[in-house]
């Protein structure tokens, strides 16, 4: 069952080792060949790659990648003013560069926090404009990939400190704090994200003074952060539980106060343990940002509807559009999950 | 943590906690009060009294017939029933498919492993909403018209109009199903059997395929947690690979699998709320329609949250009971 052997020599015996295996091999190869043939025929051989709607309609059994060639800019940037779209592009590159830099454990130093603050500020400045000669773009016109990545990054950044407090609170010696933290975590984890987003978009406006409508982006971000915090809190709590009690006791015996013990001894070890789990949570959050389309924000998923829904010429080729944005999500999420596996191995080596 | 707290420290702790309770209560009271005030100033009525008024919209499908003259509470009930009607089959399909794929990921056959791995990596890394929208589009636009359905299996027809499957029909006067009624293809589409709407097929298939990828990972981790010695012992007993799996590995793997599977089922039920985006009338969809018709956002969202919390509790309770049965008793 297990003992999965590796390498081409083992594969040969796996593939042809017994009559049953040989039969399975033949059947699976036939299935792959059949599927592969149809996929290549549809996606490559008969496909139209030019942004030519006539040619797309003429083709019978082929993909129309022309829709991507024609609409990639509204798909990736939503309703952001066309001639200003270099700004969200640069904003995405900035956030990606900082993300890639912080993915390297060697750069986990004090300067990472100010670097992130600067990157987020630059992101907002580029998107919003209104300074340094950049035209002002209201948040209602932000969209596409920058919004997807921005929501995930800022949502996580807001959720993390809250999650830290909730996790510590759930382990607190004070029963009131413990109960409040646990109730919050269980309450939020028990409801769908969509209901939290509905609440943020329908109810938060009621709390603001009449006449001043808070930005829908801000409301949704608040909802997302409140939701993600509950999940992160449980991951962090897992890490806190995994730090041996002895560590706390030794530190207390050495005269450390209660807070310094948590801050300097327990938390650094706990967070190190849960970094891979946190990375998985980042993947989840990135996917979850697609739900904001339900409350009327045009991130990657919403931008696709915007780009194709209002255009009868290209509307029949939605499937190709979905495949395109699915590929974008896939590259981001698969990259992150591979990173998480790599990191787990690397941190594991360090701990051994 | 409370070790070493002096008497003064204990006092302080209670004072701080009491203040915290006060702050939370006061904050909540202010929020509710302020929201009600704003609502009143805008002339919006509030409260749950609307639940007994006629809904004014109808629900196209489900086990509970619902038309526009019936009250809102019945609409919410029909929505809840529809949530269950989508979640239960999706849970069953995803556990079956996920278990097969999870076992396939460890199979001693490189092609099978590769296909199962590709399935997991492809579906896990694309948002469920995108998959649902893609499925909905494919069903609505790429399938043949209801008059020319494709036959998937004997008695299973698929078209733009949805899926038709054989369904037990009760015989003369008896409640026990006497025979299966098979869908037949006629000139105006398929008749007989159970006709499942395209929206229902979208949400059940989408949820099942997506969750199966996660269930597969849970099953794989569970199987890998069984110690190698157990497998070798099984081989020494002369068990076949299937017997090893059934008698030695799965019973032990279940101990690791069940708690994670509980989490996965909870998220499946919560994910069924995405059906609102593909037009299947489950609870969230009904609530959304209600908000659109009478603006009672607070009440409707409160109902959604309360119902999901209740569902989550029920699933946790049931799965914990099951877990207690499969968990190791005695030492260890």
CA distance B245 to chain A (A): 8
Sorting pLDDT into bands at 50, 70 and 90, what band is B3?
Answer: very low
Q: How far is CA A141 from CA A123, A321, B24, B243, in A?
A: 15, 21, 37, 60
> CB within 8 A of B230, min separation 6: which ones?
B248, B249, B252
Asked if B235 has any chain A CB less than 8 Å from its own CB, the reply is no
Residues from chain A contacting residue B277 (CB–CB below 8 Å): 293-294
Q: What is the CA radius of gyration of chain A?
A: 25
10-residue mean pLDDT series, chain A (352 residues)? 59 81 90 92 85 82 85 88 89 91 85 90 88 84 90 93 93 88 91 91 74 79 94 92 85 84 85 86 94 89 87 86 94 92 80 52
What is the predicted pLDDT for the residue at B181?
80
Residues from chain A contacting residue B113 (CB–CB below 8 Å): 4
What is the predicted pLDDT for the residue at B6?
62
In terms of CA atoms, which chain A residue is nearest residue B127?
A: A287
Pairing status of strand B162-165 against strand B194-196:
antiparallel
d(CA A291, CA B131): 12
CA distance A118 to chain B (A): 29
Q: Pick from A72, A109, A68, A115: which is nearest to A95 by CA? A: A115
Q: Which of A230-234, B125-129, B151-155, B285-289 has the lowest mean pLDDT?
A: B151-155
What is the predicted pLDDT for the residue at A47?
83
Q: Flag if B125 and A330 touch (Cβ within 8 Å).
A: yes
What is the predicted pLDDT for the residue at A194?
92
Residues from chain B contacting residue A3 (CB–CB below 8 Å): 108, 228, 231
Residue B332 burial (C-beta neighbours within 10 Å; 0-12, 13-18, 19+): exposed
d(CA B187, CA A229): 56
Residues from chain A contacting residue B263 (CB–CB below 8 Å): none
Residue in A21, A206, A252 nearest the CB of B109: A21
DSSP state string for A17-63: SSHHHHHHHHHHHHHHHHHHHHHHIIIIIS-B-SS-HHHHHH-SSS-
Residues from chain A contacting residue B142 (CB–CB below 8 Å): 319
Helices (H), chain B: 7-41, 72-104, 110-124, 128-137, 198-224, 228-236, 241-243, 250-271, 283-294, 297-326
> CB within 8 A of B247, min separation 6: which ones?
B234, B239
As a whole-number percent, the residues of chain B with pLDDT over 70 amount to: 93
Sorting pLDDT into bands at 50, 70 and 90, what band is B2?
Answer: very low
Sorting pLDDT into bands at 50, 70 and 90, what band is B23?
Answer: very high
Quick one: CA torsion of A194, A195, A198, A200, rounded to 10 degrees? -100
Asked if B13 has any chain A CB less than 8 Å from its own CB, the reply is yes
In terms of CA atoms, which chain B residue is nearest residue A15?
A: B109
What is the predicted pLDDT for the residue at A210?
59
* Segment B38-53 mean pLDDT: 77
d(CA A10, CA B70): 66
Residue in A174, A189, A193 nearest the CB of B17: A174
d(CA A275, CA A271): 6
CA distance A249 to chain B (A): 10
Q: In 10 A of CB B259, how many CB atoms?
A: 14
Q: Flag if B274 and A291 touch (Cβ within 8 Å).
A: yes
ipTM: 0.89
What is the predicted pLDDT for the residue at A19?
84
Asked if B239 has any chain A CB less than 8 Å from its own CB, the reply is no
The whole model's pTM is what? 0.89
User: Chain A neighbours among B 148-207 (CB < 8 Å)?
Assistant: none
Q: Flag if A326 and B141 touch (Cβ within 8 Å).
A: no
Q: Pick from A139, A155, A146: which is nearest to A288 by CA? A: A155
Q: In 10 A of CB B125, how many CB atoms?
A: 21
CA distance B256 to chain A (A): 17
Q: Flag if A192 and B121 touch (Cβ within 8 Å).
A: no
Q: Pick from A124, A58, A131: which is nearest to A91 by CA? A: A124
Residue in B13, B41, B106 nearest the CB of A210: B41
What is the predicted pLDDT for the residue at A56?
83
Residues from chain A contacting residue B237 (CB–CB below 8 Å): none
Query: Which two tokens mark A8?
Result: 């081409």
Q: How does DSSP classify residue B67?
A: -
Are the CB atoms for B168 and B179 separated by under 8 Å? Answer: yes
Query: How many distinct helices (H) and strands (E) make up chain A?
Result: 16, 0
Asked if B236 has any chain A CB less than 8 Å from its own CB, the reply is no
**Where on the phi/psi map is residue B193: left (φ > 0), alpha (ψ -120 to 50), or beta?**
left
* Segment B107-123 mean pLDDT: 92
Query: Which two tokens mark B261?
Result: 């599977």
What is the predicted pLDDT for the residue at B177?
64
Q: Which of A145-154, A241-250, B5-14, B161-170 has the lowest mean pLDDT?
A: B5-14
As a whole-number percent, the residues of chain B with pLDDT over 90 amount to: 35
What is the predicted pLDDT for the residue at A6?
61
What is the predicted pLDDT for the residue at B127?
96
CA distance B225 to chain A (A): 11
d(CA B112, CA A107): 40
């Amino acid at each position: 069952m297990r003992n999965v052997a590796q390498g081409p020599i083992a594969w040969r015996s796996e593939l042809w080792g017994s009559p049953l295996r040989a039969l399975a091999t033949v059947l699976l190869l036939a299935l792959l060949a059949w599927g592969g043939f149809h996929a290549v025929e549809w996606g490559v051989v008969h496909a139209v790659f030019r942004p030519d709607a006539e040619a797309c309609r003429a083709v019978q059994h082929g993909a129309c990648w022309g829709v991507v060639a024609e609409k990639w800019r509204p798909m990736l940037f939503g309703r952001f003013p066309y001639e200003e779209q270099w700004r969200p592009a640069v904003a995405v590159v900035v956030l990606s560069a900082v993300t890639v830099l912080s993915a390297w454990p060697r750069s986990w130093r004090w300067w990472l926090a100010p670097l992130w603050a600067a990157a987020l500020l630059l992101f907002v400045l580029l998107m919003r404009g209104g300074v340094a000669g950049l035209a002002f773009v209201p948040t209602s016109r932000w969209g596409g990939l920058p919004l997807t990545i921005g929501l995930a990054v800022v949502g996580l950044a807001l959720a993390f400190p809250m999650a830290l407090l909730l996790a510590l609170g759930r382990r607190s010696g004070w029963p009131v704090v413990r109960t409040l933290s646990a109730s919050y975590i269980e309450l939020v984890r028990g409801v769908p994200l969509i209901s939290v987003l509905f609440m943020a978009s329908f109810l938060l406006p009621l709390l603001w003074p009449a006449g001043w409508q808070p930005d829908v982006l801000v409301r949704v971000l608040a909802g997302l952060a409140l939701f993600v915090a509950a999940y992160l809190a449980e991951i962090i709590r897992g890490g806190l539980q995994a730090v041996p009690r002895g560590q706390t006791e030794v530190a207390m015996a050495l005269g450390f106060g209660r807070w310094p013990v948590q801050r300097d001894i327990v938390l650094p070890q706990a967070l190190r343990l849960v970094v891979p789990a946190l990375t998985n949570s980042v993947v989840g959050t990135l996917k979850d940002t697609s739900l904001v389309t339900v409350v009327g924000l045009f991130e990657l998923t919403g931008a696709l509807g915007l780009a194709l829904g209002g255009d009868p010429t290209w509307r029949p080729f939605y499937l190709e559009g979905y495949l395109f944005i699915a590929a974008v999500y896939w590259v981001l999420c698969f990259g992150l999950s591979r990173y998480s596996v790599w990191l787990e191995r690397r941190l594991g080596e360090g701990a051994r | 943590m409370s070790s070493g707290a002096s008497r003064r420290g204990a006092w302080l702790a209670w004072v701080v906690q009491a203040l915290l309770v006060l702050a939370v209560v006061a904050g909540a009271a202010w929020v509710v009060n302020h929201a009600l005030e704003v609502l009143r100033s805008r002339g919006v009525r509030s409260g749950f009294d609307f639940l007994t008024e006629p809904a004014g919209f109808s629900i196209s499908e489900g086990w509970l017939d619902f038309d526009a003259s019936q009250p809102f509470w019945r609409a919410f009930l029909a929505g809840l029933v529809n949530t269950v009607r989508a979640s239960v089959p999706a849970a069953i399909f995803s556990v079956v498919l996920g278990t097969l794929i999870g076992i396939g990921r460890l199979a001693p056959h490189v092609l099978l492993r590769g296909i199962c791995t590709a399935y997991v990596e492809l579906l896990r890394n694309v948002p469920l909403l995108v998959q649902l929208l893609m499925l909905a589009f494919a069903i609505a636009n790429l399938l043949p018209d209801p008059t020319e359905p494709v036959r998937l299996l004997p008695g299973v027809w698929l078209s733009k109009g949805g899926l038709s499957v054989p369904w037990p029909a009760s015989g003369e006067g008896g409640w026990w199903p006497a025979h299966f009624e098979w869908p037949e293809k006629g000139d105006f589409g398929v008749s007989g059997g159970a006709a499942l709407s395209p929206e229902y097929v979208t949400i059940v298939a989408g949820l099942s395929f997506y969750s199966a990828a996660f269930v597969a990972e849970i099953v794989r981790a569970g199987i890998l947690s069984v110690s190698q010695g157990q497998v070798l012992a099984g081989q020494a007993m002369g068990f076949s690979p299937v017997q090893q799996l059934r008698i030695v590995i799965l019973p032990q793997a279940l101990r690791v699998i069940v708690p994670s599977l509980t989490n996965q089922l909870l998220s499946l039920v919560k994910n069924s709320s995405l059906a609102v985006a593909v037009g299947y009338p489950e609870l969230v969809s009904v609530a959304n329609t209600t908000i659109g018709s009478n603006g009672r956002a607070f009440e409707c969202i409160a109902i959604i949250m309360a119902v999901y919390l209740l569902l989550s509790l029920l699933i946790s309770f049931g799965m914990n009971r099951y877990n207690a049965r499969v968990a190791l008793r005695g030492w260890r």
